[in-house]
Each structure stands twice: as structure tokens, then as C-alpha cells.
């Protein structure tokens, strides 16, 4: 059981948000634990980051036309928000109700969905399911726009039962088909939800033991009547915010709380955060951070004063296994131990190094890198080749003798490759660049402000700041020795002018440990 008030509050803020700065932590401590839970779940200024202000001060983050810009926009909100639970619950629903850019190809549609999660994700699950069923991103993602009375598409009906509400084993194949029939004709027009009556199957349906002329709303009501639904969603929430190993008795208790409160999410989350199990030893240090959560929490722990552009946020989280707004499948991302392999652990250390020692000079903005055929043509043109040689395939020879065949081939190559390259170049020309500054991190100020006077005290402070689990005494002593060797002294005051890089070296090693990956 966590007994220290500061440690308990920090634990809550990591799970219900992405960690906190020292000032934020002190503000929540003044509220008391129960007051902090209430403040997190009931923010006084929800949605406190209007787009007009973001466009004014961070125009690059408001470029919503493409995937990198959209993910950067969400990253900015996650690291800067005064309502961390809004962003954390949106990340949870994005993983459970996963939709991806590769199929939608519309960043605005996805960001509208994320905004729905932010706006409704702490309210009524009943309302959220209905909004989800009417959401253009979900309709496209699971092909409900192709679900017609005379041509049933079961994708949404299946995933609604399997992933979004009940779980495998609690329904039949007939239930899947009947649910799909109920959602026929549910579509959208110019991103506004519509029901095409001519495409809706209004015949009698038998679903989960009930019979009637059901539509989608009726199906959702019947799903919510099933006790397993409350237990399934309660379990998903607990595993995300607390720990993977959820006792069956606790899951049933949480499910009962969820049902008794008419599927309102705030009472359920309050019960989770106030439960003794949430701050027990079994839960503390039992959560493996996902890549997005890991990077945002790392920047907040480092005291970053702004959102860095180097390294690139999308590139770092993709390297760690999570492409924000672009999950690998309808099932979202695997959680828990799947995030950590020997290779991924090494990559997490590399990411920490890149943020602590950013290579601004060698950095190339991935949003402006051409790929595939466009990249080949562009590279050749930059090297001084003419169009004819720039567009040639690698295996082409100069042995073509038929004049008309050569002309036809040349024209085709010009139309496809050069035109494609020019189209890409024009698109890039119109793209608003993301500022590519490094994170402003001042570990020297942080360590000295904490009262550390020696290398031993500095290492102990950094270990306490960044780790939830203790490391071996030998590793701790090795870090102290390394810091002393780099400084040439054990007295921090004597090394004040060159303390920053050695502190970053020690911090990088701490962030590369298995213990740092656990929250």
C-alpha cells in the first residue's frame, strides 16, 4: 500500500494523466486525494484548448489535413492540457474503438472522432456507443456505408459485440447478423449522420433472445441490458488505468457499480481510483507504458517547457510500436508486456537519448522526405540529371530501336513519374512546416532546486524522480561513479557551469532501464 501522500498523488496523476510537473503536483496535493480525483474527472474548464488559439500561436499544430499534423496536434494537447484526464480517456477510447488513417485517409474525420472521445468519454457509455455508431470515421472504418438491406455487411455488427461492448463468447453468429441488419442504412452525408430509409432492413429480428423490428438504437439498448457488458467495459478501463491482473470478483463489483449508475463512466472511474486495489503494491509499478504515453510522460518528467520538434514525435512513437491515429487493426494495439521486447527496450533508450541529446543539425523533417518513385526522381533531378535519365527505370536499356515505341514510352514515363513528382513537390510547398526546435530541458536547475549538493544526492534525486521501482545498489553506485568521473568532482556547486550534459547522460541511462518502463 502506498503510504506517502506525494507518491500516492504522483501515482494517480500518472495513471489519470501523463504525470505532472512539480507545480502541478503541489496544486493537486493541496486538494487532497479525493479532491484531486474529483477535479480530474470533473474539470472546471473541459476542452480548455480552443482551436482558434492553437491556430494563432501554433499554426503548425492546426494543420489537420494529414496524419503527421493531426498526431502533432493531439500531442500538443496531451502535453499542454490543464485537463489531463480528458486526453487520457480519449487515448483509451482511441485504442478500444480503433480507427486508422490508412483507410479513412481523412484527418479531419479522425480528429472529430477524437474530439468526441474527449467530449463524451467521461459521460454516459450509452450515449458514447450511440455517438460511435453514428460517427463517420467508424462508419467508413467498418464499412457500414456499404451495409444495405439487400446486401448485409457484418463488420460493424461483429466488432460492436466482439470488441466494443461484450467480448467473445457472449453472443452467437446469428446475433452478429441480426445486429448488422439493425444498422443497415446508417450512413453520413457531408459528415452529418443520416439513416437511408430505403437501405434499412425494417424486418423482424431476433437478437440476444429478444425479437422485434429492431434498429440500431434498439440493439444498443439490448446490449446494455446484458450484465456482461458492464463487466467487460469495467475490465477494459481497469486494465488500462490500473493493472492487467484484474481479480474476477473485483471485475464483477465494478460491473455492478457501472450498471447501478446507469452506465455513467465517472462513478465507475471514481470507484477505480478510490479503491484500495488501485493504490496497492500489486498495482503500483505494474503498468507498462504504451509508446505515446511513454513519450508524453517522459517529456513532462524532464520538465520540457514546450513541445519539441526534434526528434519527430510520430517517428519516435512509430519506432516504439504505436502509430497514433493509425492502429494496426480494428483491435487497436496490444497492451502490457507486448510493448516490451529486447529490441523495443533498446529503442526506448534510443528515444530517450534523442530527446536528451537532439541532433538538430542532422535532422531531416520526415514530412518533407519524398519516398518511392517520387524520391528516386527527385534525387536524380537534384543531382543534375535531365528528365530522360531521371525518369528511367533501373533495368531500362538504350537498346530500343523503334522510334514510335520510344516516344510512347517516353511520354508515358513523363506523365506518370515527372507529373507525380511535381504533384508531390507542390503538396510539400503548401505544407506548413512544424517548428523543429529541441525541448528546453534544464536538469541542472531541477536538481539544484531539489537541494542536491553531491553526485550521490543528484543520482538519488533522479532515481526518485524517474523510477517507481528500485534498481540494484550496484547500478546506483555505478551511476554515482559515472557522474563523478564526468564532473571531476563530487561537489555539484564546483561543476555548476558544466553540469547539464553529465546529468543528461545519467538520466539517459536511468530511462534505458527496464524499471523505467514500468509505472
* Element of type H or E holding 268: helix 265-274
Q: Among all chains, which residue has been given the C-alpha cell 535519365?
A: 389
pLDDT value of residue 316:
94
| Three cell numbers written together for 234 | 469495467
- Nearest-angstrom CA–CA distance, 145 and 187: 5
End-to-end CA distance of the chain: 15
pLDDT value of residue 29:
97
For every one of its 519 residues, what pLDDT tens digit does the chain have, with 9 covering 90 and above?
Answer: 556 899 999 999 999 999 998 889 999 999 999 999 999 999 887 766 656 556 544 554 554 457 777 888 888 889 889 899 999 999 999 999 999 988 988 788 999 999 999 999 999 999 999 999 999 999 999 999 999 999 999 999 999 999 999 999 999 999 999 999 999 999 999 999 999 999 999 999 999 999 999 999 999 999 999 999 999 999 999 999 999 999 999 999 999 999 999 999 999 999 999 999 999 999 998 999 999 999 999 999 998 877 788 898 889 999 999 999 999 999 999 888 899 999 999 999 999 999 999 987 776 666 666 555 555 666 676 677 765 666 565 544 344 444 444 554 555 555 555 566 566 566 556 555 566 678 899 999 999 999 999 999 999 999 999 998 899 999 999 999 999 999 999 999 999 999 999 999 999 999 999 999 998
Residue 310's SS3 state is strand
| Three cell numbers written together for 199 | 437501405
Cα distances from 212 to residues 227, 428, 466, in angstroms, run: 21, 54, 57
| Three cell numbers written together for 52 | 482558434
Q: Among all chains, which residue has been given the C-alpha cell 493504490?
A: 279
| Three cell numbers written together for 428 | 510539400
- Nearest-angstrom CA–CA distance, 115 and 109: 10
CB 165 within 8 Å of CB 129: yes
Closest CA to 514 of 304, 339, 356: 339
Ordered DSSP codes for 35-91:
HHHHHHHS-SSSS-S-HHHHHHH-GGGG--SSHHHHHHHHHHHHHH-S-HHHHHHHH
Residue 460 has phi, psi (to 5 degrees) of -60, -40
- Nearest-angstrom CA–CA distance, 250 and 229: 15
pLDDT value of residue 402:
45
Amino acid at each position: 500500500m502506498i503510504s506517502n501522500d506525494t507518491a500516492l498523488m504522483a501515482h494517480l496523476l500518472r495513471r489519470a494523466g501523463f504525470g505532472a510537473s512539480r507545480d502541478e503536483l503541489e496544486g493537486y496535493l493541496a486538494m487532497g486525494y479525493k479532491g484531486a480525483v474529483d477535479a480530474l474527472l470533473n474539470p472546471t474548464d473541459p476542452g480548455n484548448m480552443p482551436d482558434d488559439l492553437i491556430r494563432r500561436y501554433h499554426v503548425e499544430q492546426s494543420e489537420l489535413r494529414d496524419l503527421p499534423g493531426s498526431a502533432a496536434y493531439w500531442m500538443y494537447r496531451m502535453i499542454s492540457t490543464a485537463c489531463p484526464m480528458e486526453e487520457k480517456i480519449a487515448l483509451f477510447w482511441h485504442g478500444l474503438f480503433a480507427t486508422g488513417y490508412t483507410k479513412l485517409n481523412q484527418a479531419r474525420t479522425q480528429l472529430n472522432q477524437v474530439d468526441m472521445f474527449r467530449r463524451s468519454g467521461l459521460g454516459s457509455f450509452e450515449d458514447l456507443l450511440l455517438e460511435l455508431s453514428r460517427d463517420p470515421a467508424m462508419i467508413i472504418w467498418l464499412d457500414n456505408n456499404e451495409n444495405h438491406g439487400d446486401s448485409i455487411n457484418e463488420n460493424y455488427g461483429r466488432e460492436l459485440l466482439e470488441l466494443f461492448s461484450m467480448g467473445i463468447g457472449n453472443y452467437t453468429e446469428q446475433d452478429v447478423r441480426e445486429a448488422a441488419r439493425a444498422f443497415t442504412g446508417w450512413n453520413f452525408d457531408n459528415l452529418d449522420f443520416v439513416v437511408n430509409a430505403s437501405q434499412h432492413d425494417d424486418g423482424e429480428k431476433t437478437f440476444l433472445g429478444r425479437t422485434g423490428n429492431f434498429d440500431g438504437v434498439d440493439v444498443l439498448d439490448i446490449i446494455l441490458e446484458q450484465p456482461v457488458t458492464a463487466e467487460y467495459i469495467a475490465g477494459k478501463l481497469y486494465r488500462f488505468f490500473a493493472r492487467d491482473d484484474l481479480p474476477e470478483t473485483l471485475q464483477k463489483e465494478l460491473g455492478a457499480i457501472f450498471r447501478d449508475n446507469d452506465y455513467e463512466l465517472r462513478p465507475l472511474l471514481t470507484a477505480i481510483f478510490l479503491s484500495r486495489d488501485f493504490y496497492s503494491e500489486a498495482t503500483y509499478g505494474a503498468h507498462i507504458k504504451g509508446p505515446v504515453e511513454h513519450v508524453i510522460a517522459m517529456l513532462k518528467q524532464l520538465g520540457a517547457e514546450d513541445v519539441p520538434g526534434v526528434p519527430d514525435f510520430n517517428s519516435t512513437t512509430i519506432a516504439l510500436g504505436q502509430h497514433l491515429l493509425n492502429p494496426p487493426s480494428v483491435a487497436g494495439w496490444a497492451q502490457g508486456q507486448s510493448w516490451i521486447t529486447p529490441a523495443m527496450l533498446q529503442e526506448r533508450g534510443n528515444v530517450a537519448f534523442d530527446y536528451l541529446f537532439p541532433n538538430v543539425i542532422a535532422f531531416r523533417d520526415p514530412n518533407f522526405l519524398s519516398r518511392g518513385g517520387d524520391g528516386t526522381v527527385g534525387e536524380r533531378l537534384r543531382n543534375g540529371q535531365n528528365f530522360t535519365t531521371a525518369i528511367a527505370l533501373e533495368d531500362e536499356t538504350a537498346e530500343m530501336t523503334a522510334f514510335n515505341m520510344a516516344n510512347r514510352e517516353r511520354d508515358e514515363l513523363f506523365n506518370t513519374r515527372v507529373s507525380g513528382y511535381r504533384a508531390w513537390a507542390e503538396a510539400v510547398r503548401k505544407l506548413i512546416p512544424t517548428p523543429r526546435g529541441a525541448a528546453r530541458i534544464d536538469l541542472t536547475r531541477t536538481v539544484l532546486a531539489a537541494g542536491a549538493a553531491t553526485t550521490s544526492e543528484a543520482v538519488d534525486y533522479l532515481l526518485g524522480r524517474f523510477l517507481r521501482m528500485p534498481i540494484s545498489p550496484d547500478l546506483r553506485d555505478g551511476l554515482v561513479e559515472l557522474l563523478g568521473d564526468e564532473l571531476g568532482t563530487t561537489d555539484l556547486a564546483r561543476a555548476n557551469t558544466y553540469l547539464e550534459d553529465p546529468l543528461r547522460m545519467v538520466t539517459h541511462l536511468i530511462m534505458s532501464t527496464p524499471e523505467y518502463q514500468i509505472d
